[in-house]
Each structure stands twice: as structure tokens, then as C-alpha cells.
């Protein structure tokens, strides 16, 4: 600049200064902006970047498995593919509302074709423009491959973005209908809706977790935060139920329902020494895999939810309590008034006319008059307290929804004399099948009323025991000696002259009680003349009881008596269960020792107990029917189906004993012979060749 004109050189310096100043101001602005972005607003920008880069996953844990006592899976969770869509990602790079709508219409048509869905239905889901929406859940293998082809970026054409196939838990019941009402089902929202699936929801479902994962610009997950798989699943549950015994119970109960055309039925098998429930059956049942095809009635677990008037099956608990209270002795003689007695203005009838009976004979012949006299002598407060000690009027405490407690008396007042009398033989009160089984277990187990055990053990994902059930005595219902005495008395029910000869098992001594309880007609408020509940509850073997079985058949159309209908179901279930448990028959002859009249030898009493008597059938509550007449001609059942055989023999006044399936091939007694009315006829069925 030395050779330049001084004025020109000064202008140049001025311009350079201005330029440097402008550049300095610009640099200062850049530095200021960088400071604001990186320092002042840094946390906000970092959070935004993290939100764009990371994906927060809502992880549903795998639902726990339900096992039977031997480790057989009854309910498991499996992974099935489902299709979801990220509509925001699907529309990335598509500008303008018309273009976006056209893009969604095109995507809906392509997805609908791949999944066999209506395009309009798919578009309705995509139009929400959510980051996550289910398109179709639980798809087939072909549909999965079709969706994969649509979203494959390597294939020619226009790959569909934002569509994904995700694994989703699905509840599966390997045994299908087995224990359906007991297990319940799981809805598509992964929530248990009935049975154990509902009551054990907190254990089975586990803890829901949130996991952060890294994703690329297309939204695909390329890294998932590590998590212990064992901590992300529900607890496993081990039941006391035995799959084999449950199968036998449901099979026999279903056969009885079809043979006798009952409205429904329930059956409970209990180990009396522990209180463990080996079977809890209810018919009609349903398949939890297809629960949408069932109705509410089929999903009800009748063994714990249904209340019914028990009838004569309450007499063992009455007599046991009277013996324990000292108001009755095993050798007491009770006048049964020749079958007719009035109390509180009500006339009570016995089907089998009797005069003087012992407590054992009252059980064997199911005398209502004998029972009410024992109940009135015991007294209303003591009778009510006795039933409560056996667990009636309160829930048994199993983890099942809707368990009923039953009703012992109208709220707020004691029983009147007539009510005390009727309660003595099981009228005017209601119980459940489970309550009956647990109460009879108390007699079988020396007078101790145990808590029923349905859930034996709960374990976490690592196999550690979360909790385990143990034997727990709720209370002592009766002294051990009284329990043993009543058990011996109850063997008369299944022996010759008792009301449940059909419940006897060759090689074993069986104790039990029948009931044929009239049902109340809701339209009239009175007892129905044609609707009954047939019941049998008992245990075997008497010397060392291994199982207690309670059978309840609701409103049988063919036949009515508990000994004839529920008794054979008890026998078949007990025989199969004893074989399954490895219990062998005993060679000990049946005997009733020490329950005779005071001063008489035991064998004399045994002879008296087995003296010839009119053919016994159980007494309907407050029945007024006359005694059954004499002999009848046995119909020819050869070639008939089971339904026709039962109808023909019942019409003739005979009791059918069905063995096998198919068509009748032989019978005993033979067709055309004479047999006492009410006697059994054994009919053997074989399938067609």
C-alpha cells in the first residue's frame, strides 16, 4: 500500500476493518448460538435425541404355567405371531394430506390381501396414525410369510415400511376340556377371566417391565436392553389335582349326566389325611381353548359355586355331633313312629316304615323321623353349632372365584322347632359339594376338619419356592373315638339292607351316605314333586381312608335316588382311583363291632343289622310315597342302547347297573324272570363289531 495514494490506502484499511468487524460479529453470533445450544439448552436437545434414538418397550412377561401334582402341564403360554403397524413410520417422507391418505389406502389394501382382512377395516386402524396399532393378532404361518414379503426391503417393488411381526403370548390348555371350569381362561388382553386364571392372576401374570432399546431411522429395533429372562415371567403354580384322577372323575360324571339326563353335576375327590383335592370335576364343562363357543352355565365350577339342599346326607354329621354331646349313644333305641310323625304342625313320613331303630339303622334306612328326634334332643343351638364345626355355613377357602358359603339359617333368628327338625335331615339349609367332601373327610380323618389344599406350591422363574401349602387343621369337629364309631356305622349304608348297595366295592369296606333331596320350585316356593338332587358322599377303605368322594347329580330325569344314581358313580371313580394309587383290596370281612345294644354280643348286633328288610332306596326329603310293591317281570334289554335300557328298567321299577358301552348283549337277572321291585339289574354293553 506504500505506492498507493494515501486516500485510497486509507479507504482500503477502513473496508478491511469493517469486514473484520462483521466477521467478528458473525463469529460471535456462531459462538453464542453454540453456547446456547450446547450448554444452556444442552439437556433438552439431548433428551430429544434420546427420544428419537431410543424406543421404550412395554414388555409383557410370559405367563406362568399351571401343573398338576405330578408335573403334567394343564395351562401353558406359547408364542404366536401377530402383526402391528407404526403409522408414523409408514408415512415418513409422504407430504400432503391427499398423498398420505392415498398411501394409507394402498397400504390397507395390500395388508388386507395378505391377512385376508377387509381393506376398509385395516384402513380404519391405520387412520388413527398411532405409533403402534394391532392389525391382526395370532396369524398363521402363510400370513406371516405374506407380511414378511410386503416389508422385505431387498425385494423389488414398493416395500411397506412400519409393519412388523411380533411374538405374542397365547394361553394353551393341552388337555382341552379337562378341568376347564377349574382352570378358567385368559382373554386376548392377557387377563385371566375365570377360575384359577382369574384368582391367581397376580402370581401367573408376573410383573410388567419397561425396557429401552436402540433403533435406527426406520424404527427397527437393533439393540434391546438386557434383562434376565427368568425375572420377566410369571410364577408357576403346582396344583394338588391329579390329571389321571380328574380324567376319571369327569368321564364318569359326564356318563352319568348323559345316562340319567341330569341338568348338571359335580364331583370332588379328597385325600382326607392332608385335605388335598385330587379332583374337582363339574359338568357340563367346556374347552378353555375355545371359550367363546361356551356359555356361562358351562363355565361355572359347580363344586364350589352351586348351593343345594343336602337332604339325608347330613345325618352322619347330626349323629356324630349328638354322640359327641352325650345326648345319644351308639346303643340308643329310637321310636320311629311306624313311619309317620308330626312336629310343629308338619307331618313327616318315612318311606320305609320302622318302629324301633338304633342310630346305625337310622343311617342304613335313612329314617327322617329318627334323625329329627335326635336333632330335637340335641337342641337348636347345639345342632347349629355342630354344623358350623363341620364347616357348613362358611366358605372352605379354596382360591376360586364365586365360592359359596351355603346357608344354615335365616339371618338374625334361631330355628323354630319345625326348622330344627327339618335341618336334622338336611332340609331348609344349603351346602356345596366341596363342603360335603371336607365334612366327610373330618369323619374319615379322626374328627379333624382340614383346610382344603388346591394350590400345593408356587415357584418363580428360577425355580425358587415362593410359597407352599401345608396341612392345616381348621378345628376339631368331633373326638377321634366318635369319628371312628360313626365311620363304622356308615358301612351299614353300603351293605345289604342299606340305601347304597350300589356304592359297595368288592374287597373294600366302604362308608358313606346317600341323599335324594327334593328341590324347591321357585314358582311356588314349595318342594317340587319331580325335581331332585341325587347325592352320595363316602370314603374308602374304612380302616385307613385314602380317598373321600362326593358325588352330586342335579335334577336327574331318569331315576332319582342317590344310592341308585350317585352310588355307582362313587364306586367307579373310587375303584379307578384306588387302583391308580396302588391300594389293594383287603381280605378282612365286613363287620360292625361294638355298636350293638348294651350287653349284647357284637355278632348278635351284626346279625340284627343284616336281618332281611324291605328293599331300601334313599328317602326323598319329606317324601309321602307308599312303600314299593312286590315282584315285577324283568324286561328284555338285549340290543338296546343305554338310554333305552335305563328308561325300560326304571319304568318297571328296577335299578339299572350299566357296564361298558355300545349295545346291551346280556343281563342278569334274565329277561322274563321275576325280581323284587327296586332290585338291581346288571346289563353288559359291548360296542358293535
pLDDT band of residue 595 (cuts 50, 70, 90) is very low
Active site residue 312: yes
Look at residue 387 and give its three-state secondary structure: helix
CA distance 370 to 361: 9
Q: Is the model's pLDDT at 212 over the cut of 70?
A: no
> What would the mean pLDDT of 413-427 be, rounded to a whole number?
90
Asked whether the beta carbons of 475 and 449 are under 8 A apart, the reply is yes
CA–chain centroid gap for 137, Å, is 28
What is the rounded distance in angstroms from the CA atom of residue 107 to the CA atom of residue 687?
A: 58
Closest CA to 387 of 475, 328, 454, 446: 475
Q: Peptide bond preceding 357: is omega within 30 degrees of 0, i.e. cis?
A: no
| Model confidence pLDDT, tens digit, residues 560-571 | 899 999 999 999
Active-site residue, from 199, 266, 294, 312: 312
Instruction: Give the mean model confidence (pLDDT) for residues 316-321.
Output: 96
CA distance 496 to 510: 12
Q: Write down the pLDDT at residue 182.
A: 95
| pLDDT at residue 620, rounded to an integer | 36
Pairing of strands 340-343, 663-668: unpaired
DSSP 337: G
Specify the residue for cell string 352355565.
297
Region 80-94 average pLDDT? 83
Asked if residue 51 has pLDDT above 50, the reply is yes
pLDDT digits (tens, 9 = 90+) for 279-316: 999 999 999 999 888 888 888 999 999 999 999 999 99
For residue 355, pLDDT beyond 60: yes
**Nearest CA to 269 among 562, 548, 538, 570?**
548
Q: Please, what is the angle between helix 417-424 and helix 368-378, to 10°?
A: 120
Q: Which of 114-123, 142-151, 269-278 has the lowest mean pLDDT?
A: 142-151
pLDDT band at 232 (very low <50, low <70, confident <90, very high): low
Residues in the chain: 689
What percent of the chain stands above pLDDT 70? 85
**Lowest mean pLDDT: which of 1-5, 166-170, 295-299, 402-406?**
1-5
Confidence check: pLDDT of 614 > 50: no
pLDDT at 593 over 70: no
Residue 37's SS3 state is: helix
The yes-or-no verdict on residue 621 having pLDDT over 70 is: no
Question: Which residue, chain included where needed, has cell 453464542?
Answer: 32
Distances, alpha carbon 599 to alpha carbons 20, 604, 610, in Å: 134, 10, 19
| Whether the Cβ atoms of residue 370 and residue 340 lie closer than 8 Å to each other | no
Residue 166 has pLDDT above 80, yes or no: no
pTM of the model: 0.73
What b/e string do you get for 298-327 counting C-beta neighbours within 10 Å, with b at 16 or more? bbbbbbbbbebbbbbbbbbbbbbbbbbbeb
Phi, psi of 152 (to 5 degrees): -75, 115
pLDDT in tens, 97-113: 888 888 888 888 888 88
Cα dihedral value 611, 617, 619, 620, nearest 10: -170
Tell me the pLDDT band of 220, cut-offs 50, 70 and 90.
Answer: low
Does the structure show a pLDDT above 50 at 47?
yes
Tell me which residue of 414, 361, 362, 364 sits closest to 385, measured CA to CA. 414
CB 554 within 8 A of CB 533: yes
Q: How many whole angstroms separate alpha carbon 201 and alpha carbon 185? A: 11
Question: Distance of CA 84 to CAs 4, 80, 130, 170, 663, Å?
Answer: 77, 13, 11, 16, 55
Residue 140 C-alpha cell reads as 398363521
Amino acid at each position: 500500500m506504500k505506492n498507493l495514494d494515501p486516500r485510497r490506502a486509507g479507504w482500503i484499511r477502513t473496508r478491511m476493518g469493517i469486514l473484520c468487524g462483521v466477521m467478528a460479529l458473525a463469529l460471535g453470533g456462531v459462538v453464542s448460538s453454540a453456547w446456547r445450544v450446547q450448554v444452556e439448552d444442552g439437556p433438552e436437545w439431548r433428551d430429544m435425541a434420546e427420544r428419537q434414538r431410543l424406543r421404550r418397550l412395554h414388555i409383557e412377561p410370559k405367563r406362568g404355567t399351571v401343573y398338576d401334582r405330578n408335573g403334567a402341564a394343564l395351562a401353558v403360554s406359547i408364542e404366536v405371531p401377530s402383526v402391528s403397524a407404526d403409522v408414523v413410520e409408514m408415512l415418513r417422507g409422504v407430504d400432503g394430506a391427499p398423498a398420505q391418505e392415498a398411501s394409507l389406502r394402498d397400504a390397507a389394501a395390500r395388508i388386507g390381501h395378505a391377512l385376508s382382512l377387509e381393506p376398509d377395516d385395516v384402513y380404519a386402524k391405520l387412520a388413527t396414525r398411532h405409533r403402534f396399532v394391532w392389525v391382526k393378532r395370532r396369524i398363521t404361518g402363510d400370513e406371516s410369510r405374506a407380511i414378511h414379503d410386503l416389508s422385505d426391503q431387498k425385494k423389488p417393488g414398493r416395500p411397506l415400511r412400519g409393519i412388523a411381526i411380533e411374538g405374542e403370548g397365547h394361553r394353551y390348555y393341552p388337555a382341552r376340556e379337562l378341568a376347564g371350569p377349574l382352570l378358567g381362561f385368559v382373554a386376548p388382553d392377557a387377563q385371566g377371566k375365570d377360575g384359577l386364571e382369574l384368582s391367581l392372576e397376580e402370581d401367573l401374570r408376573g410383573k410388567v417391565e419397561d425396557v429401552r432399546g436402540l433403533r435406527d431411522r426406520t424404527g427397527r429395533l437393533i439393540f434391546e436392553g438386557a434383562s434376565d429372562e427368568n425375572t420377566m415371567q410369571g410364577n408357576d403354580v403346582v396344583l394338588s389335582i391329579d390329571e389321571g384322577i380328574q380324567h376319571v372323575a369327569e368321564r364318569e360324571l359326564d356318563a352319568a349326566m348323559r345316562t340319567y339326563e341330569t341338568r348338571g353335576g359335580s364331583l370332588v375327590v379328597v385325600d382326607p389325611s392332608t385335605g388335598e383335592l385330587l379332583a374337582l370335576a363339574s359338568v357340563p364343562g367346556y374347552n378353555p381353548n375355545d371359550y367363546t363357543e361356551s356359555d356361562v352355565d358351562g363355565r361355572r365350577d359347580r363344586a364350589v359355586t352351586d348351593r343345594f339342599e343336602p337332604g339325608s346326607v347330613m345325618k352322619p354329621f347330626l349323629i356324630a355331633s349328638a354322640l359327641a354331646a352325650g345326648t345319644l349313644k351308639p346303643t340308643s333305641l329310637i321310636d320311629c313312629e311306624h313311619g309317620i310323625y308330626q312336629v310343629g304342625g308338619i307331618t313327616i313320613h318315612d318311606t320305609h316304615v320302622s318302629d324301633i331303630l338304633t342310630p346305625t339303622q337310622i343311617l342304613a334306612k335313612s329314617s327322617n323321623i329318627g334323625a329329627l328326634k335326635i336333632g330335637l334332643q340335641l337342641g337348636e343351638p347345639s345342632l347349629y353349632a355342630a354344623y358350623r364345626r363341620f364347616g357348613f355355613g362358611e366358605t372352605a377357602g379354596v382360591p376360586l372365584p364365586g365360592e359359596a358359603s351355603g346357608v344354615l339359617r335365616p339371618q338374625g333368628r334361631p330355628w323354630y322347632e319345625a326348622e330344627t327338625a327339618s335341618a336334622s335331615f338336611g332340609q331348609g339349609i344349603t351346602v356345596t359339594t366341596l363342603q360335603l367332601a371336607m365334612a366327610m373327610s373330618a369323619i374319615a380323618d379322626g374328627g379333624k376338619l382340614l383346610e382344603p389344599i388346591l394350590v400345593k406350591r408356587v415357584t418363580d422363574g428360577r425355580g425358587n419356592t415362593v410359597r407352599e401349602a401345608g396341612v392345616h387343621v381348621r378345628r376339631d369337629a368331633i373326638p377321634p373315638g366318635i369319628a371312628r364309631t360313626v365311620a363304622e356305622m356308615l358301612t351299614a349304608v353300603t351293605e345289604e339292607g342299606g340305601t347304597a348297595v350300589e356304592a359297595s366295592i368288592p374287597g373294600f369296606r366302604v362308608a358313606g351316605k346317600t341323599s335324594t333331596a327334593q328341590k324347591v320350585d321357585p314358582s311356588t316356593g314349595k318342594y317340587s314333586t319331580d325335581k331332585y338332587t341325587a347325592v352320595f358322599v363316602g370314603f374308602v377303605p374304612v380302616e385307613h381312608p385314602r380317598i373321600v368322594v362326593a358325588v352330586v347329580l342335579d335334577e336327574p330325569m331318569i331315576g332319582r335316588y342317590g344310592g341308585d344314581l350317585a352310588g355307582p358313580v362313587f364306586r367307579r371313580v373310587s375303584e379307578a382311583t384306588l387302583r391308580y394309587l396302588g391300594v389293594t383290596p383287603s381280605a378282612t370281612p365286613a363287620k360292625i363291632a361294638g355298636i350293638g345294644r348294651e350287653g349284647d354280643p357284637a355278632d348278635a348286633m351284626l346279625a340284627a343289622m343284616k336281618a332281611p328288610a324291605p328293599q331300601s332306596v334313599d328317602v326323598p326329603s319329606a317324601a309321602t310315597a307308599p312303600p314299593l310293591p312286590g315282584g315285577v317281570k324283568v324286561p328284555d334289554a338285549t340290543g338296546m342302547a343305554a338310554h333305552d335300557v335305563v328308561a325300560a328298567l326304571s319304568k318297571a321299577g328296577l335299578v339299572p347297573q350299566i357296564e361298558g358301552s355300545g349295545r346291551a348283549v346280556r343281563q342278569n337277572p334274565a329277561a322274563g324272570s321275576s325280581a323284587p321291585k327296586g332290585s338291581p339289574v346288571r346289563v353288559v354293553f359291548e360296542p358293535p363289531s
